[in-house]
Structure formats: structure tokens, C-alpha cells
Copies of this chain bind each other. A is one copy, B any other.
């Protein structure tokens, strides 16, 4: 069966929507990196308009009719073909999008801007009560959003599906309960034996050069990538050959190197999508969780492993002789792999990070189930004590620390830990297929790692739901055991 004209029409329309989405991506990238501050009011208007036009174009009757018309064609095709995948994914997106009145989307977006502003002030003053009325309103809007869909097994399923399509709350809970069981004692035991941090003054320009030395080996390439700085590092794809990654370069530490490797992992995923999928909704990572599996893989499994530093530590010492001259590789390695339970999620080590996430995952479910938000700070503080053994001194460093809820991003947090878990499943599979990974890394060679990931993960883009993508890569479903073995092995050694 040759493609009917309706397929070309659908592809053209989805291509135009993709272009609009990428225009918004550029506006957002620019806003977070290089825009003059007084551009923000115009930019908010512009982003609002592009989002509205893209959404209205997508939920049009025309797209609905094309999708109906294409059903026989889709059924005649190999499920793995580009055409079948495009129709299947577009239909899933469409059926979700048309359930929500555009006015509700717009209200969540407007309320999100206001709530974000209030959150910034509330956090600066550690004043949760100032934030609470806005948060209550946002929760109400998100409950209305959930009500647009047929009742799921768990109301949280609907929220989770926006970030990790097809995943169920009950599946996440099984994984997280196992992590919790293993990590609470592990973090408690390891935390008391922490190595001192490496401190000093590390000039930004030098850090940038070192970051580039590393990520060029990973696959960063000036003809198709940029590296800029942003207060909160992120990666953005404006096309599979226009990848923008950002980092931060605080001069007081070398944390920026890991931020760059992390964002490079996101970038490699977007850059590695099959060119055939370009300018379609398939031309991106399968989910936030799988995306995070790739950023964590490059940051942690590659960037914090021994062979990596046997390659790069001499170079780092050479760059900062005063700060690192008297610190040996072993001490450096321990310092960057230490477990050190703390208040702030984004500063957390690899192991305790997951406990921060699990706490949020559990609280989000309680919030959606109707928790009185006056009790949220206590619930937060109690869980911090239970999971990390930490007393929270104020709400700024507690319940107010993250931006996500102000924008209505309930359901987003779990994907960070799902990414950690999947990263090791994928890494084990890779190591079974590729010989001498450690030797290669210890020579600063990453081509075989990148190519394996490209072939098995990146190329697929968003053709399949995350669970199917993972199944194709590792031959099974999500499983926390490899990740726990990895952490336990590493912390026993370090």
C-alpha cells in the first residue's frame, strides 16, 4: 500500500507544528542564556502565543480527520515502520490533547507564571504561607486537568503519563519501595564516612576549556552544538543538528564539569535520533525518564568511573596545579563519589538523590489525594528526617526549594530516579555487547559507547513508549536491582 495523500497532509501539518515547537524552544533557550533581562515581558507574550498557536493547530478537526482516515493505512503497515509509528504516536498525543479545553491549558500556563513569581519571593523569604494560596489554586487546576481524562487506576497516573507515557503509579511504587528499602540504610552508613570536598578557585574560562575537551570526546561538535552558561543548566534541541547545551561554572568547585557531561548526555540522545524522524513528533527522546537515563549515564556511569579519571585526572591536575597538585587520584575519586546526605536535591550525591525524589513522589500523591496544604511543610520535614536523617531548618531549604510545583509540574520528579534505574540497566547491556569499555574510557575513547547507544537507544527517538523502548534495549522491563548492585559495589569500594 503506498502512502495515501492524507499521510503527506498529516506529515506536513505535524512538521509545521514541530517548527512552532522549535521556535518556542529557541525563545526559551535564549531567555535562559543570553537575553537582556528587560526582554522578559515581550518574551513571555511571545512564548504564550507560540504555545497557543501550536496547540490550536494540533487539536484541529483537520488533524482528527486525517488520523481517522489513516487508520486502514496504519493497519496495513509494519508496526515498526516510520509511517505506522508517526500515525500511532500522533494519535496518542492527539487523543490526550483534545480532552483538555484549551482554556484550561491557558489558565494553568498563566497561573503557572504567577505562581512562579510568588514562589521566587516566598523562597527568598522562606515564607511558605505566602506561597500556599497559589499552590492550592494550582493543585485545584491540576485536579481539574486530571478530571478531563477517564478515571485511571490511580489519579496520579494521568500526571505521570505526561512525562513518562504509559507508566503506572503502581509500577513506580514497586521500584521506589525497593530503592527506599536498600538506600535508607546505605546512605545512613556511607554518610558518616564522607571524604572532604575538593575546594579552591577554578576560573570559569579554564573550566569551560576542560568541559569542552571532555564533551568533544563524547560527541559534542561545534558544527552542530553550542555550549553556553545558564543559572539552571539544561539541554535543548532546535533540530537534530542544532543542539544547545548549557552548564554553570561556579568558580568555587568543579561541579560544572559534571553538569556539562550530564547535559551532553541529553544532547547526544537528541543528536542521535534517526534523521528520518526529523521534523516530526518522533524526533526526540522517548520520555523524560529515558532522557535522564542518558544524562546520568554520561555524567555518572562514565563521568564518575575510575577509568575516566585515570584518563582525565592528570589533565585536571595540570590545569589546576595549586588546587589539585597535592590531591591524589584516589582522593579525588572518593570526593566525587561520596555519599553526603543534605537538604537540597540538586546538590545531592548519586545515592541520596533518589531519597529526595521518593519523598516528592509520595508527597505529590498525598497532595493530589487532598492533603491539607497547611500540613505540607510538616509532612516534608518528617519525611526528610525519616529518609535522610536530616532536620530541615527552614522552608526555603525544605518544601520551597524546587520550582516544579509552582509551574504545575506534578508527576515530573519520579522520572529523575527512573532515569537512574534505567541508566544502569542500559549500561550493563552495553558492557555485555562492547568489549573493553573500561580500557577505552581509560584512553579517553568514547566512540564505541556512543555508537552502541546511538544504535540501540538514540536512533529510536520517540517511536515507542518508554517501556517498549527499554524492552528493545535491555530485553526486559524496569528493574532496580542492577542500579542497587552498582551503588552498593561502588560505595563498598569508594
Contact = CB atoms under 8 A, between A and B. Distances in A.
Contacts of A241: 36, 38-39, 41-42
A23 B22 contact: no
A46 B27 contact: no
Interface string A349-389: 00000000000000000000000000000000000000000
A251 interface: no
Interface stretch (A71-79, A218-226, A406-414): A218-226
Contacts of A238: 39, 42-43, 46
Contact of A22 (B16, B41, B42): B42
Contacts of A278: 42
A226 B36 contact: yes
A34 interface: yes
Nearest to A23: B23
A329 to B, nearest CB: 35
A3 to B, nearest CB: 20
Nearest to A52: B16
Contacts of A26: 23, 26-27, 30
A255 interface: no
A279 interface: yes
- Chain A interface size, as a band, is 35 or more
A224 B35 CA distance: 8
Nearest to A244: B36
A34 B29 CA distance: 13
Contacts of A46: 19, 22-23, 238
A241 to B, nearest CB: 4
DSSP class of A's interface residues: helix, strand, loop or mixed?
Answer: helix
Nearest to A237: B42
A233 interface: no
Nearest to A228: B34
Given A16-B53, A22-B46, A30-B30, A242 B38 contact: yes
A20 B50 contact: yes
Interface string A125-166: 000000000000000000000000000000000000000000
A239 interface: yes
Contact of A36 (B20, B34, B225): B225
A243 B24 CA distance: 19
Interface of A: 15-16, 19-20, 22-24, 26-27, 30, 34-39, 41-43, 45-46, 48-50, 52-53, 222-226, 238-243, 278-279
18 contacts: A19-B48, A23-B23, A23-B26, A23-B27, A26-B27, A36-B223, A36-B224, A36-B241, A38-B224, A38-B241, A39-B224, A39-B238, A39-B241, A39-B242, A42-B279, A43-B239, A43-B242, A53-B53
Given A19-B49, A30-B30, 20 more contacts: A15-B45, A19-B45, A19-B46, A20-B50, A23-B23, A23-B27, A23-B46, A26-B27, A34-B226, A35-B242, A36-B222, A36-B225, A36-B241, A38-B223, A39-B242, A41-B239, A42-B238, A42-B242, A46-B238, A53-B53
Question: What are the nearest 9 A-B pairs in CB distance?
Answer: A42-B239, A39-B242, A19-B49, A38-B241, A38-B224, A19-B46, A23-B23, A16-B49, A38-B223
